[in-house]
């Protein structure tokens, strides 16, 4: 019995040491704040306010990565949006659909739940948004757009050394349409959700890869 206890203790110690090294050198654990209604709406449907996520301390940004970046408009806070267009890309968002260099790169398909309801803090009302899955290479993620009353069109030529970020919620957004193109050298890649606001008991919001 004592031998088994020693083995369990050694295993726990080793796993704890590995977790500590990963935490110090590779990942950071971050709880998404819930005190900004616009930011909370903009990160849906991929994430939700209160989610506990892992962010990579060492990030090489590629198209499609979901990033946590310092908020250009509010020092000390963060924004979460997806890296969509890089240096030299001609980006257009029309009817809340993104195209790059005149091509719609993703091949969207309907989400498991085709329509989602999101609260829009700008009007203090709920809006029905169409949900679709977008693909970038070997990664895919859910995005939302409004069928009625979409946001005005946006066109941009991405400057050298900059990225254009787009919220997964294309309708209620906090992204480069609001704060401009950014240098992503200070951004971190969100890679994993540990649990949602409701804790580990929420199966849909725990232990999931986040691109």
**pLDDT tier for residue 129 given thresholds of 50, 70 and 90:** very high
Q: Is residue 101 predicted with pLDDT exceeding 50?
A: yes
**pLDDT tier for residue 191 given thresholds of 50, 70 and 90:** very high
- How far apart (Å, rounded) are the C-alpha atoms in residues 32 and 47? 9
For residue 18, give the nearest of 2, 10, 193, 206 by alpha carbon.
10
Helix spans in 43-175 (H) = none
Which tokens sit at 135? Answer: 């693909």
When comparing pLDDT for 151 and 200, which is higher?
151
Beta-strand relationship, 78-85 and 164-166: antiparallel
State residue 112's pLDDT score. 85
Asked whether the CA dihedral 97, 101, 107, 111 is positive or negative, the reply is negative
Which tokens sit at 124? Answer: 């203090």
Model pTM above 0.85: no
State residue 138's pLDDT score. 66
For the stretch 162-184, pLDDT in tens is 999 999 999 999 999 999 999 99
For the stretch 5-63, pLDDT in tens is 444 433 333 333 333 333 334 579 999 999 999 999 999 999 999 999 999 987 788 88
- How far apart (Å, rounded) are the C-alpha atoms in residues 189 and 69? 9
């Amino acid at each position: 019995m004592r031998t088994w206890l020693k083995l369990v203790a050694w295993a726990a110690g080793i796993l704890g040491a590995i977790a500590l090294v990963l935490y110090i050198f590779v990942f950071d654990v971050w709880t998404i704040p819930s005190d900004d209604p616009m930011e909370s709406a903009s990160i849906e449907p991929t994430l939700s306010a209160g989610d506990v996520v892992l962010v990579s301390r060492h990030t090489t940004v590629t198209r499609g990565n979901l990033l946590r970046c310092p908020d250009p408009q509010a020092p000390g806070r963060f924004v979460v949006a997806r890296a969509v267009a890089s240096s030299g890309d001609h980006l257009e968002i029309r009817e809340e659909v993104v195209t790059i260099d005149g091509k719609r790169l993703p091949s969207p398909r309907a989400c498991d739940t085709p329509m989602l309801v999101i609260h829009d803090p700008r009007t203090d009302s709920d809006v029905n948004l169409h949900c679709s899955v977008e693909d970038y290479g070997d990664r895919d993620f859910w995005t939302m757009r409004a069928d009625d009353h979409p946001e005005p069109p946006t066109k941009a030529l991405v400057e050298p050394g900059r990225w254009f970020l787009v919220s997964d919620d294309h309708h209620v957004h906090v992204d480069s349409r609001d704060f401009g193109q950014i240098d992503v050298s200070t951004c971190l890649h969100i890679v994993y959700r540990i649990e949602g606001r409701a804790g580990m008991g929420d199966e849909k919001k725990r232990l999931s890869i986040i691109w």
